[in-house]
Amino acid sequence: MNTDYKDVFGAAGPLARALPGYAYRPEQAAMAAAVGHALANTEPLIVEAGTGTGKTFAYLVPALLSGRSVIISTGTRTLQDQLFRRDVPMLAKALGLPVKVALLKGRANYLCRHRLELTMQQPSLLGGERGLARLLARISRWAATTQAGDLAELTDLPEQSSVWPMITSTRENCLGQECPQFNRCHVIDARRGAQAAEIVVVNHHLLLADLALKDEGFGDLLPGAQAVILDEAHQVPDIAAQFFGQVWSVRQVQILTRDVTAELAAAVVRSDAIIGELSIVEARLDDLRARFPGGAGRYEWPGLPEAFLDVLPELETALGDLAKELDGLGAGAGIANCAKRAKSLAASLGALGSVPEESGLKWVEAAASGLSLHFTPFEIADRLRAYVEARRCAWVFTSATLAIGDDFAHFAARIGLPEARTLHIDSPFDYPTQARIYLPRNMPEPQHPSFAAKFIEACAPMLEASGGSAFILYTSYRGLADGVAALKARFPNPPFPVLVQGQAPREALLNQFRELGNAVLLATGSFWEGVDVKGEALSIVAIDKLPFASPDDPLLKARLEGIRRRGGNPFSEYQLPQAVLALKQGVGRLIRDFDDFGVIVLGDPRLKTKSYGKVFLKALPPSPVITEASAGAEFLVERLSRSRAARGAGTAGESDVPGAPIGTMPASATSVT
Ligand code: SF4
């Protein structure tokens, strides 16, 4: 059936009839037509949809109309919840298409009844922690009443709590059909619900874990799907690299040793030989930690001391010996599962030690949760392509930042689909009218000691004109700290509230920012994307430097090395396009709606002094570039007074942008990033 998406999205269509405040956007209908074509022809498609396109509706409508079973994967939990709770039901109703929709999370989000029971039977495993015992008692009471077993229902369960591995399963430790709780299992229930649904909403971690048959995946999500739509797809290559590599962690071994003790107790078995092997494994873990040379951070393998590396084969032997003893016991499914895991942990440790250097980078991460050993392949494109080609379904990748100008080559190559059809949908916002890009004159080089102060000095006239209402975004923690000091020096008694990343959790800080209405937020990394502040509360987005990733990060090194080895140019093929996409993400925080306005301040002089500066400038929204602070300040004053006058005249909510549709789409279509 050929659907005319202009009719579906048009002023007389079902969406206009059913959704209050709906406005037709030709960009949205064009994207929907392309997605509908990809779905009907089982083809891959890559779409960059500028902010304001309303891309969630643009892929949900064809997905619903196709009548096919579709997996929708997102990068963030916020979007996942929005799709499941609001957008899909609202559109299904508007289109008159009853549809079964399921939200599926990774295993680690569901209670594992078997593991909770094991833990409750062995209070000694809690190490005498009274708080933990109380928490477990509370979880146990909740477990008796919960329907879905979704741990998000326990809203105050701390994310870092050591209780998580005691009450959730992994693919390795799940007993499957041999589990005594199989018939009441929440993980199995969630999976059945997903298999029976026409639309399944997941996140990229679960989707890629599933593809790669890794821990949190179920391994059977995809066979039934006829289309996979990945929103926030710019995150996919990095997440795929995690799942297509290997990870071995001290924590996995600790969980194993604790499970062995619990399973022995549950089976009422005492084995001195196994207790002996457990203590050898624990002693080798102690050696490993004691010989690790540094604090928290990422370390490349070749720089690690021999004394540390020497422990790895000893630990491999100890795990192998433990597996043999457990195997010999013949004491039920729980013990047999522990034997299998000990064998697999020994094998993966051995494999990590011997993996050929030319295929990827080995590195070690030290964190509060313990040491983990990693192998990251140099290239994941071929593997991703093989997975995509192995499944006959349509793959749609979309995001607001996938292309450099109209060029998708960088992203398409990273996901291994260089010949996929691509589509670039411009934002419907009127950037020439709504925003200015301010490139201050005479900025020092980014490494210069005066840079932080000069950058704040450049922002000051805008801050004074708007009375605050700014994001000042930094590319490093060092830059952030210098920026905070510089702002304090320039505004000893700031006429606006100042918020700094780290003062409170991210969401709390964002809520505070929205409520205050004129705050200045100084932040780094995590505020560059997935942040949506509409209206006057955000009138300035200032970015200190071009966001080139740190060359010291082992993961980045792995990618650059991979490109070098196949004769490519790491800067032009990877570092530059990645930095351009990151800058687009940061700049994209400013204009989120038709009546938003503001100034983008870019402090890095390399935009004008280096030849690659042009690549960045070309990728920015088509707003006039200004080099005088007074022009930016005047723009803000004028727009603020117009907006306040319009509000005073009781026309709030209507767009004052010539040519823009009156009214806006429902928040559901525009609040995504
Ligand atoms: S089947 Fe697996 S996830 Fe379910 S209760 Fe048993 S061990 Fe836990």
Tens of pLDDT, residues 163-212: 888 899 988 889 988 899 999 999 999 988 888 899 999 999 888 888 77
- In this structure, are residues 520 and 527 in contact, taking their beta carbons and an 8 Å threshold? no
Would you say residue 663 has pLDDT above 60? no
Would you say residue 454 has pLDDT above 90? yes
Task: Spell 214-249 as b/e; 16+ CB within 10 A means b.
Answer: bbbbbeebbeebbbbbbbbbbbbbebbbbbbbbbbb
Secondary-structure percent of the chain, ordered helix, strand, coil, rounded to 5: 50, 15, 35
Would you say residue 490 has pLDDT above 70? yes
Residues with CB under 6 A from ligand 1: 112-115, 169, 174-176, 179, 181-182, 185, 187-188
CATH entry 1.10.3470 includes domain 244-377: no
Question: What is the dotted CATH code of the domain comprising 5-106+189-243+380-425?
Answer: 3.40.50.300
- In this structure, are residues 429 and 51 in contact, taking their beta carbons and an 8 Å threshold? yes
CA distance 489 to 511: 27
- In this structure, are residues 539 and 640 in contact, taking their beta carbons and an 8 Å threshold? yes
- Give the 3-state secondary structure of residue 470: strand
- Determine how many CB atoms are found less than 10 A away from the CB of residue 652: 11
Would you say residue 1 has pLDDT above 70? no
Give me the percent of the chain exceeding a pLDDT of 70: 94
Ligand 1 centre to CA of 124 (Å) is: 22
Would you say residue 82 has pLDDT above 70? yes
| Residue nearest atom 8 in ligand 1 by C-alpha distance | 112
Mean pLDDT value across the chain: 87
Query: What does the pLDDT look like over 549-584, one tens digit per residue?
Result: 877 777 788 778 878 887 889 899 889 999 999 999
Query: To which residue do tokens 């392509």 refer?
Result: 385
* H or E stretch at 531: none
Confidence of residue 519 (pLDDT cuts 50, 70, 90): very high
Q: Mean pLDDT over residues 72-90, rounded?
A: 90
Instruction: Please list the alpha-helical segments (H only) found in 144-271.
Output: 164-167, 186-196, 204-211, 236-244, 250-266
Would you say residue 672 has pLDDT above 60? no
| Residue nearest atom 3 in ligand 1 by C-alpha distance | 112
- The letter for the amino acid at 163 is V
Ligand 1 centre to CA of 263 (Å) is: 14
| Residue nearest atom 4 in ligand 1 by C-alpha distance | 185
Give me the percent of the chain exceeding a pLDDT of 90: 57
What is residue 555's predicted lDDT score, i.e. its pLDDT?
77
Would you say residue 662 has pLDDT above 50? no
What is residue 293's predicted lDDT score, i.e. its pLDDT?
82
What is residue 18's predicted lDDT score, i.e. its pLDDT?
93
CA distance 143 to 120: 12
Confidence of residue 127 (pLDDT cuts 50, 70, 90): low
Q: Mean pLDDT over residues 372-387, rounded?
A: 86
Q: Mean pLDDT over residues 595-609, rounded?
A: 96
Confidence of residue 445 (pLDDT cuts 50, 70, 90): very high
Query: Which atom of ligand 1 lies closest to the CA of 186?
Result: 4
| DSSP state string for 266-318 | HTT---HHHHHHHHHHHHHHHHHHHT--SSSEEEEGGGS-HHHHHHHHHHHHH
Residues 6+ apart with CB under 8 A from 300: 361, 362, 363, 554, 557
Ligand 1 centre to CA of 216 (Å) is: 13
Would you say residue 668 has pLDDT above 50? no
* H or E stretch at 367: strand 360-367
CA distance 409 to 593: 29
Query: What does the pLDDT look like over 625-649, one tens digit per residue?
Result: 999 999 999 999 999 998 888 777 6
Question: What are the counts of helices (DSSP H) followed by strands (DSSP E) for the chain?
Answer: 29, 18
Residue span(s) of the chain under CATH 3.40.50.300 come to 5-106+189-243+380-425, 431-657
171, 188, 340: residue to mutate for ligand 1 pocket, most atoms within 8 A of CB: 188
Ligand 1 centre to CA of 151 (Å) is: 15
More confident residue, 516 or 79: 516
Residues 6+ apart with CB under 8 A from 158: none
What is residue 125's predicted lDDT score, i.e. its pLDDT?
67
107, 109, 115: residue to mutate for ligand 1 pocket, most atoms within 8 A of CB: 115
- In this structure, are residues 193 and 57 in contact, taking their beta carbons and an 8 Å threshold? no
Q: Parallel, antiparallel, or unpaired: how do β-strands 246-249 and 370-377 relate?
A: antiparallel
At 23, give phi and psi (nearest 5°).
Answer: -130, 140
Q: Tokens representing 385?
A: 């392509």
Q: Mean pLDDT over residues 507-513, rounded?
A: 89
Angle at the Cα of 502 from the Cα atoms of 501 and 503, rounded to 5 degrees: 95
Ligand 1 centre to CA of 279 (Å) is: 28
Would you say residue 671 has pLDDT above 70? no
CATH entry 3.40.50.300 includes domain 431-657: yes
CA distance 261 to 335: 10
Ligand 1 centre to CA of 388 (Å) is: 30
Instruction: Please list the alpha-helical segments (H only) found in 537-612.
Output: 554-565, 570, 576-587, 606-609
| Residue nearest atom 2 in ligand 1 by C-alpha distance | 174
Residue span(s) of the chain under CATH 1.10.275 come to 244-377
- Which of 336, 164, 324, 318 lies closest to 267, judged by CA? 336
What is residue 216's predicted lDDT score, i.e. its pLDDT?
52
More confident residue, 430 or 122: 430
Q: Parallel, antiparallel, or unpaired: how do β-strands 199-203 and 297-300 relate?
A: unpaired
Confidence of residue 664 (pLDDT cuts 50, 70, 90): very low
What is residue 673's predicted lDDT score, i.e. its pLDDT?
20
* H or E stretch at 96: none
Residues 6+ apart with CB under 8 A from 330: none
What is residue 373's predicted lDDT score, i.e. its pLDDT?
93
Query: What does the pLDDT look like over 218-265, one tens digit per residue?
Result: 556 666 789 999 999 999 988 888 888 888 999 999 999 999 998 888
CA distance 533 to 544: 20
Ligand 1 centre to CA of 167 (Å) is: 10
| Residue nearest atom 7 in ligand 1 by C-alpha distance | 174
Ligand 1 centre to CA of 332 (Å) is: 15
Q: What global pTM score does this model have?
A: 0.81
